Structure 1
Amino acid sequence: MNLTNDDIVARKLTALAHPVRLAAIRRLATAGPDGVAAGKLAERLDMAPSALTFHLQKLAAAGLVESRREGQFVYYRAVFDALLALTDHLVGACCSESENDCGPRCPSSRCE
């Protein structure tokens, strides 16, 4: 089965479609490229580590987070390229077919 770009984006958005996963991805994004230990992330999100692991696995399956093991700890980090590609897919062509500028945050070069 060949997936279209829209199919891939839909899978990523489905993975994000939960408040815990949105909160986790925001925390991981603020942690930067080194990520954060799963236990510390669970602490910051005020939830059980086992429940958080379920959500992190959903995000990892969608390619939005990655993990690495260091001794007894598992660290998770946001996959920034995937997150930025997702937002670019959604709004990267904003106002490209319009004569009007859509605003100062428009990523389209003609709107700068």
Structure 2
Amino acid sequence: MQAQDSGTKLRGPAVWALVLTGVASFMAALDNLVVTTALPAIREDLGGGLEDLEWTVNAYTLTFAVLLMFGAALGDRFGRRRLFIAGLAVFTGASAAAALSPGIDALIAARAVQ
């Protein structure tokens, strides 16, 4: 009976970890979907050519792919929860910077920070 109780206790944190990482993955996918959908409006409002619009999408994807393993190593060193919260804060701040960007270059830079 004790083994069953401890197994039940372990499911709670595992479920929360799955939910939180699922929500974070959904946020990343939604961010890319929103930007891809908004490309015509971005071009109209901020200017820039096709290359700039490509960089708007690719800056996020490229830095995400390049820094993924580095982030995992930092999570092992400093704690996954701490790094997740820091990453969420940086992502939120960079999203605000992207929303308030006055030009295409600032938007690309904010997308890279995201």
TM-score by length of 1: 0.26
Structure with the largest fraction of strand:
1
Structure with the largest fraction of helix:
2
